[in-house]
Structures are given as structure tokens and as C-alpha cells.
Structure 1
Amino acid sequence: MKNISLIILLLSFSAVVNSQSKDNLIAINQTWDKFYKAFENLDHSLMAEIHSKDLVRISGGRNILNYETYINNYKARFQQNKESGITYNISLRFFERINTNETASERGVYQLTVNKGQSSEQNYYGQFHVIFKKINDKWLITMDYDSSEGNTINKDNYLKASAIDDFNNFVKQ
């Protein structure tokens, strides 16, 4: 009986280690690159491209949106920002990245900088949890949850998390 339990435990551990693919993380980062560019260029069409039409978008403590409403909100916001001369720069850091060949769960902290490098520069922080699905060979966001956790997320939380290209904490070598 002990041998069977040990074998099951080893197989379970092996499945967990092998499910973390650096190749998947690299491919997922291509989607995150488009996310970054959407903010940098105030381009809602890039946001539309990286989200599934079945998106569930949750703003912690505020609301739940579908794909159409979420993208239309970005279209309006980005247009207003262009007209007002407001710029965005967003950066993500991670404390959890789990993936299989079809699904990924990523959690971390974002830093949104408004008007970077200007006297009016402001930084905002929040925690996020995103679920990706691989659809037609593209990693698309199917669920996106973020929250400031009652304004408790800050630069220290952001800096404690791993950089987007630091895979060492998430892939067993």
C-alpha cells in the first residue's frame, strides 16, 4: 500500500512540474506585450485582439463586465486620453504563473503610470488575476480580475513580485 501511495504522489508531483512550460510563458508574454502596447499607444483594438469574446472582466468591489462593454469602455477612455494628452504606461510583475498547454492562470501586481516623466505623473497599483485559454493557437484572456485590495497594494508589493521575463520562480529547471 505504501508503494502505491508513493507512486501516486510521485506521478502527481511530476505532472505539476511538467505542466509548467517556459515555452508557454514566452508565448503568453507575447499577449502581455500587446497589452502593454495597447496602453502605450492608447489602442483599444489591441485590447480587443487579446481578449476572448467570452471574457469575464471583474473590477474588484465594483462590477462585472462582458467583452463588448469592457472593450467599448477602453475605446472611449483611450480616445478621451488622446484628446486630453494623457499617457499611460503599465507594467506587470508576478507572484504566480501556472500553465498547461491549453490554460494559464497568472496572478501578480500591476503598476499603472499616468503621464510618465511629467510633473503630473501618478502611479497606481493593484493586484490582478488573469485566466488565459489557448484559442486557435493564441493565448487569449478569458477572465480578468483586478483590485486595489482596499488601496493596500503599493510599490513594495509590486517590487516583491517577479519581473515578466523572470521565469525561474515558475519553471522547474
Structure 2
Amino acid sequence: MIGQVSSSETQKQIDQTVWKPFQKAYEALDAVSLNAIYADEVLRVTPEGIDTKNVFKSKNVERLKASKESNTQIKLDFWFDSRHTNDDTSYEVGFYKIGITADSKTQYLYGQFHIVLKKINGIWKITQDWDTTTINGKPITKEDFEKKNSLRF
């Protein structure tokens, strides 16, 4: 086997230094803190294409600023389907639910993510971020998300 299966101590460290701050920044609409969780060089892949120039970071700033200005609230929940970690790299796959509340109406978006984290100068950073709202051409649904409980930090 290449590398080692995730150790609980390393996973706890990643949860506290990456995922808890990620969720907090996303829900607070804090693009500066959110973008700081990513490495300087990131491969970001979405259904819209591949971003190797960190364009997504400026889009985070614009999108979250617009959400603040319109009094939109965001709630992010997620869980991991698999996590494989060694001393300096972690590959993490999971599902997310984003609740977007605007004008007293809440819309939910569901998706799957594949994230690669690298330990850079002693700090875990996201270096690859891929997500989608479909699997095999079928939309990811509430039922897919509810197969496991959301993480609580």
C-alpha cells in the first residue's frame, strides 16, 4: 500500500485547521479567510472547467460580497465518504449540502467533492479542489446527502 491510511490524530488536525475554519468562513461569507485555506497554487475543477490561475479566489470575493450585500445567509454541511492521509498529503472525498436563504426562502444545493490537501511549511492547505452536482449524469439529491450525518466540529 502506498502511504498510510489516515491516522486519527492527523485527521483531527486537518478537521481543526482546515474543515472547521472552512465551514466557519463560508457561513460567515468571509472570502479572505476562506481563500487563506487554499495554497498559493491550486487546481480547481468544476463543471465549468479547470482553473489553474486562482480565478476562483476572486470569484469567492465577489460572490460572498454580493451575498452579504443582499443579506443572504449560507449554511454548509458536509461529510466524508473516504479519507486517505499520510504525513504530508490527504485525499478526501465527501458530500456537501449548501442552504442558501434569501428573502425568507431557502434553496439547497447538493454535491460531491474531491479535495487534495498538502502540508506546506507545516500548515495543511487545499491544493486541489474538484466538485460536482451530478454523478453519472444524475443530480445529487437530498437522499444522497442524508446517507450519513453531517460533521460537527
TM-score, L = length of structure 1: 0.79
Which deviates the most, 118-127 or 43-52? 118-127
Structure 1 residues 65-104: aligned runs within 5 Å: 65-66=51-52, 68-104=54-90
Q: State the Cα distance separating 1:151 from its structure 2 match.
A: 5.0
Q: Partner of 1:146 in structure 2?
A: 131
Q: Partner of 2:14 in structure 1?
A: 28
> Retained in 1: the 8 A contact 2:77–2:150?
no
Write 1 or 2 for the structure with the bigger share of helix.
Answer: 1
> Retained in 2: the 8 A contact 1:29–1:164?
no
Q: State the Cα distance separating 1:163 from its structure 2 match.
A: 4.2
2:108 to 119, 123, 136: 123
Q: 1:90 to 1:151 in 2, by over 3 A?
A: farther
Q: State the Cα distance separating 1:162 from its structure 2 match.
A: 5.6
> Retained in 2: the 8 A contact 1:52–1:67?
no
Rounded Cα–Cα distance in structure 2 between residues aligned with 1:67 and 1:27: 28
Structure 1's consecutive aligned runs of 4 or more residues displaced over 3 angstroms after TM superposition are: 161-166
Q: State the Cα distance separating 1:122 from its structure 2 match.
A: 1.0
Q: State the Cα distance separating 1:68 from its structure 2 match.
A: 3.0
> Retained in 1: the 8 A contact 2:118–2:127?
yes
Rounded Cα–Cα distance in structure 2 between residues aligned with 1:152 and 1:66: 26
Q: State the Cα distance separating 1:100 from its structure 2 match.
A: 0.5
Rounded Cα–Cα distance in structure 1 between residues aligned with 2:27 and 2:152: 19
Helix, strand or coil at the partner of 1:160: coil
Deviations 1:33-82 (CA, angstroms, capped at 9, x unpaired): 111111111111112211011101101x3111135311100000011111
Rounded Cα–Cα distance in structure 2 between residues aligned with 1:105 and 1:67: 21
TM-score, L = length of structure 2: 0.88
Aligned length: 150
Q: Partner of 2:24 in structure 1?
A: 37
Deviations 1:120-164 (CA, angstroms, capped at 9, x unpaired): 011110010000001111110000000011452112221224643
Deviations 1:1-28 (CA, angstroms, capped at 9, x unpaired): xxxxxxxxxxx5xx77x53210111111
Identity of matched residues, %: 29
